Amino acid sequence: MKILITGGAGFIGTNFCYYMLKKHPDYEYVCMDSLTYAGNLHNLEKALENPNFKFVKASISDREAVDKLFAKENFDIVVNFAAESHVDRSIENPSIFLETNIMGTAALLDASRKYGVKRYHQVSTDEVYGDLPIDRPDLFFTEETPIHTSSPYSSSKASADLLTLAYARTYKMPVTISRCSNNYGPYQFPEKLIPVMIQKALNDENLPVYGNGLNVRDWLYVDDHCSAIDLIIHNGREGEVYNIGGHNEKQNIEVVKTILERVGKPESLITYVKDRAGHDLRYAIDPAKIHAELGWLPETKFADGIKLTIDWYLNNRAWMDDIFSGDYAKFNETEGGKYA
Q: CA neighbours within 13 Å on the CB side: how many for 57? A: 15
What angle do helix axes 317-325 and 193-202 make, rounded to 10 degrees? 100
What is the spatial distance between Cα 83 and Cα 212, in angstroms, rounded to a whole number? 29
**DSSP string of 55-80, one letter each residue:** EEE--TT-HHHHHHHHHHH--SEEEE
With beta carbons less than 8 A apart as the criterion, state whether 233 and 121 touch.
Answer: yes
Q: Which of 29, 33, 120, 126 is catalytic?
A: 126
Q: Which of 18, 33, 120, 127 is catalytic?
A: 127
What is the spatial distance between Cα 82 and Cα 216, in angstroms, rounded to a whole number? 26
Q: Which of 29, 153, 167, 187 is catalytic?
A: 153
Residue 110 a catalytic site member: no
Report the 3 state secondary structure along 267-312: HHHEEEECCCCCCCCECCECCHHHHHHHCCCCCCCHHHHHHHHHHH
Residue 153 a catalytic site member: yes
> Which own/partner contact pairs does 97-103 have at CB distance under 8 Å and 24+ positions apart?
97/152, 97/153, 97/156, 98/152, 98/156, 98/159, 99/61, 100/59, 100/60, 100/61, 100/156, 101/153, 101/156, 101/157, 101/159, 101/160, 102/156, 102/159, 102/160, 102/163, 103/61
Q: What is the dihedral of CA 203, 14, 252, 136, to 10 degrees?
A: 180
With beta carbons less than 8 A apart as the criterion, state whether 117 and 75 touch.
Answer: yes
Give the active site residues. 126-127, 153
